[in-house]
Amino acid sequence: MKLAAIPILMYHQVTPAPLGIFRKYSVLPDKFAAQMRWLSLAGYRSLTMEDLLRFRQDQGQGHRPLPGRSVIITFDDGYEDCLKYAVPVLEKYHFTAIFYIPTALVGQSSLWLKKEKGIDLPIFDWSAAQDLLSVGFEIGSHSVSHKKLAFLSIEECRQELTESKQVLEEKLGCPVHHLAYPYGSFNNQVKEIAAEAGYKSACTVEIGLSPLDEDLLALHRVPVLGQDYLFDFICRLTRARPLGELLQGKMASMFQQLQR
């Protein structure tokens, strides 16, 4: 029997004032609200990463199928704007989400973007992270300092993954099992180090729905981008890509067939 696949949505920033250079990763609040409204109307139920782990374990024992329309909502980097513009909307529709945060930058800002793009976006603080946890959201690791893990030495990579997990657990007072690789940078060695550090799931930025038999330390995600219209979002839920890309792919394969 073919296993189902679920969309693990990847957001970064939700803000009414996107900065030009980061516009692709910034979703306007009204667009975000329309997307969540659509999920609710279409009967989607949001799962936590812990739910996904439980379903995967139960699936091995042959019981408890995943509910029909499931979605996981993720936010990378911990941008402060998400507290004001995403969290109330999620709560309105009874959706949960996981926020992946770089522990050395909590309460500060996106220093890596300052170096790369000259922009600096505020990251929420520990008290906000605790508040999110207390109302049913999840917090995951996004490493210590948001570096490309696949390009670090084994020692540096281990430090980024173990220290961030320890700090999160100390500050939040609960176990932390979930990771998103900064920039989606990972390889087999990074995965091994993540497993040794005690992570049970890790999200990449590989685009696709996440099949229920996929490697838990290399989960595909579905990006939701600033330029997406609602019909793109609806397309992404089942095909991972926006309408234009799907049509382009279809046209290209038709063209190839005609040339044969």
CB of 183 vs Zn ion, minimal distance in Å:
7
Q: Tell me the residue type at 183.
A: Y
For residues 140 and 182, which CB has a smaller minimum distance to Zn ion in the complex? 182
Residue nearest to Zn ion (CB): 76
Shortest Å, Cβ 219 to Zn ion: 15
Least gap, CB of 112 to Zn ion (angstroms):
8
Which residues of the chain form contacts with Zn ion (CB under 5 A)? 76-77, 182
Cα distances from 194 to residues 105, 167, 170, in angstroms, run 20, 15, 18
Compare residues 182 and 242 and give the one whose CB is closer to Zn ion. Answer: 182
CB of 22 to Zn ion, least distance (A): 11
How far is it, in rounded angstroms, from Cα 80 to Cα 97? 15
User: Could you tell me if 61 and 110 are in contact, meaning their C-beta atoms sit under 8 angstroms apart?
Assistant: no
Q: How many other β-carbons are positioned within 10 Å of the β-carbon of residue 136?
A: 13
3-state secondary structure string across 10-38: EECEECCCCCHHHHHHEECHHHHHHHHHH
C-alpha to C-alpha distance for 132 and 138, rounded to whole angstroms: 7
Closer Cβ to Zn ion, 10 or 39, answer by number = 10
Judged by beta carbon, residue 40 or residue 145, the one nearer Zn ion is 145
